[in-house]
């Protein structure tokens, strides 16, 4: 089970410490690291070769680091005391992308990561746990303060958060104002507290070059009191003219008014996903789908889809494209 990382560590170490003519120092060419494990991270046979490999890297070498863990133990210094302190801050001074699945909002590992993220970060993905969504009182302020560092990152273009409820909406919107024209991709998955009217309004006013927006709520009742409306969703389409991917899952305001506006006006859209929509969304009376000339994928999770609307969409696609994937759930 542990032979592969051990042999890899030995091979990379040998190529550096015992150079042979015409043999390259292979470790010096590594730019991207991905660690995916379901094993206990404190297991010495697992940890030791990983650390041996990390020690071969220079401070400016790594550009991409991806962690995939089935739980939050990777964040705990008790579970894996050397991995995070080895990487942060010593090996990430030129890091452009960090993806962390198994991120714990309230742990010492969280502090190590957020405190030392470099300004070179362009893509940041943090996947928390749905089981960790109750906010403890004591660590909240410190964890939030660490996360606020990302608001000053001048190169951030992609942000993906899953099951992260550490950030108050007003504070998060300050970050959106800072990232502004640079922000291209925003994905909020099960971050219910952030998915309110003011989020969409801030995107319209400050992030006009947004090309991908994906929002999914676990429960509309746990979201902010200023719920997203059909009107502000229509304004989003008019204000963010570069929007190519729009995914709204269990989001308020997705109704016939929004669908009609989207079909007629969303001329840049290539991918549209509308999941767990309100029962009032049927498409009835919508005849103008000229805004979907570039659309390549449509998904409507709709129980009562109007047959006339479906016929119009089918006919429009048949004229404009033969490579569109049409996914439709209807009764």
Domains and CATH numbers, the chain: 181-331 (3.80.10.10)
DSSP 230: H
Contact 232, 197 (CB under 8 A): yes
Q: What is the pLDDT of residue 50?
A: 86
Task: With cut-offs at 50, 70 and 90, classify the pLDDT of residue 331.
Answer: very low
Which of 23, 18, 109, 13 has its CA nearest to residue 52? 13
pLDDT at 316: 80
pLDDT tens by residue, 294-319: 998 899 888 788 889 988 988 887 65
The half-sphere exposure of 265 on its side-chain side, counting CA atoms within 13 A, is 15
pLDDT at 276 over 90: no
Rg value, the chain, Cα: 23
How far apart CA 32 and CA 29 sit, in angstroms, is 9
pLDDT, greater one: 71 or 160: 160
Provide the whole-model pTM: 0.88
pLDDT at site 180: 94
Between 324 and 208, the more confident residue is 208
- Residue 226 in contact with residue 249, Cβ under 8 Å? no
Residue 275 has pLDDT above 70, yes or no: yes
pLDDT at site 273? 94
Q: Which residue has the higher pLDDT, 40 or 184?
A: 184
pLDDT at res. 136 = 41
pLDDT score of 141 more than 60: no
Question: Scanning the structure block, which residue is given the tokens 């992609």?
Answer: 158
Rounded Cα gap, residues 302 and 246, in angstroms: 17
Q: What is the pLDDT of residue 326?
A: 46
Instruction: Tokens for 130, please give them.
Output: 């749905």
| Helix, strand, coil percentages for the chain (3-state, nearest 5) | 40, 15, 45
Spatial contact of 249 and 273, defined as CB atoms under 8 Å apart: yes
pLDDT band of residue 240 (cuts 50, 70, 90) is very high
CB burial string 166-178: b at 16+ within 10 A, e below: bbebeebbebbeb
Q: Under DSSP, is residue 249 helix (H, G, I), strand (E, B) or coil?
A: strand
Mean of all residue pLDDT scores within the chain: 83
Is residue 204 reached through a cis peptide bond, with omega within 30 degrees of 0 on the bond before it?
no
């Amino acid at each position: 089970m542990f032979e592969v990382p051990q042999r890899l560590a030995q091979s990379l170490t040998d190529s550096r410490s015992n150079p042979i003519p015409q043999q390259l120092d292979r470790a010096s060419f590594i730019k991207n690291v991905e660690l995916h494990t379901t094993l206990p991270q404190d297991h010495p046979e697992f940890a030791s070769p990983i650390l041996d490999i990390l020690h071969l890297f220079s401070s400016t070498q790594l550009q991409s680091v991806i962690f995939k863990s089935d739980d939050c133990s990777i964040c705990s210094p008790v579970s894996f005391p050397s991995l995070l302190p080895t990487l942060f801050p010593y090996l990430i001074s030129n890091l452009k992308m960090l993806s962390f699945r198994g991120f714990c909002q309230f742990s010492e590992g969280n502090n190590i990561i957020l405190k030392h993220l470099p300004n070179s970060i362009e893509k940041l993905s943090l996947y928390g746990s749905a089981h960790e969504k109750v906010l403890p009182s004591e660590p909240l302020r410190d964890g939030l303060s660490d996360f606020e560092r990302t608001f000053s990152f001048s190169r951030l273009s992609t942000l993906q958060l899953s099951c992260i409820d550490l950030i108050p909406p007003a504070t998060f919107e300050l970050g959106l104002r800072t990232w502004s024209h640079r922000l291209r991709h925003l994905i909020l998955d099960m971050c219910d507290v952030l998915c309110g009217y003011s989020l969409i309004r801030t995107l319209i006013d400050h992030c006009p070059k947004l090309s991908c927006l994906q929002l999914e709520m676990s429960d509309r009742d746990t979201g902010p009191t200023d719920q997203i409306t059909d009107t502000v969703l229509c304004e989003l389409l008019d204000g963010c003219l570069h929007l190519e991917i729009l995914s709204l899952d269990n989001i308020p305001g997705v109704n016939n008014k929004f669908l009609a506006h989207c079909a007629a006006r969303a001329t840049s859209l290539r991918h549209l996903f509308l999941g767990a929509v309100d029962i009032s969304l049927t498409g009835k009376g919508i005849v103008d789908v000229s805004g979907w000339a570039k659309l390549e994928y449509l998904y409507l999770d709709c129980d009562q889809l109007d047959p006339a609307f479906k016929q119009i969409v089918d006919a429009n696609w048949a004229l404009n494209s033969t490579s569109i994937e049409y996914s439709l759930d209807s009764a």
